[in-house]
Amino acid sequence: MDKAWKALTGLGHETAETVEIGPYRIVERFDVALASLAVRRGQDKGFQAAAKKLGVPLPGAARHEAGKVFSAFWTTPEMWLVEADFATHEDIVSALKPGFAETASITEQTDAWVRFDVSGAGLVALFERLTNLDLATLPDGFASRTVIEHLGVYLIRHSATLVTLYGPRSSAQGLLHALEVTVKSVL
Q: Which long-range contacts (CB under 8 A, 24 or more apart) does 47-51 make?
A: 47/100, 47/103, 47/104, 50/99, 50/100, 50/101, 50/103, 50/104, 51/100
Q: CA torsion sign, 92 to 73 to 114 to 84?
A: negative
Residues of the chain with pLDDT under 50: none
Amino acid 7: pLDDT: 81
Instruction: Report the CATH architecture of 32-110.
Output: 2-Layer Sandwich (3.30)
Q: What is the pLDDT of residues 63-109, one digit of tens each?
A: 999 999 999 999 999 999 999 999 999 999 999 999 999 999 999 99
The SS3 assignment for 139 reads coil
Fold of 18-30+112-186: Gyrase A; domain 2 (3.30.1360)
CA 126 – CA 23 distance, rounded (Å): 11
The ranges assigned to domains in the chain are: 18-30+112-186, 32-110
| pLDDT at residue 2 in the model | 58
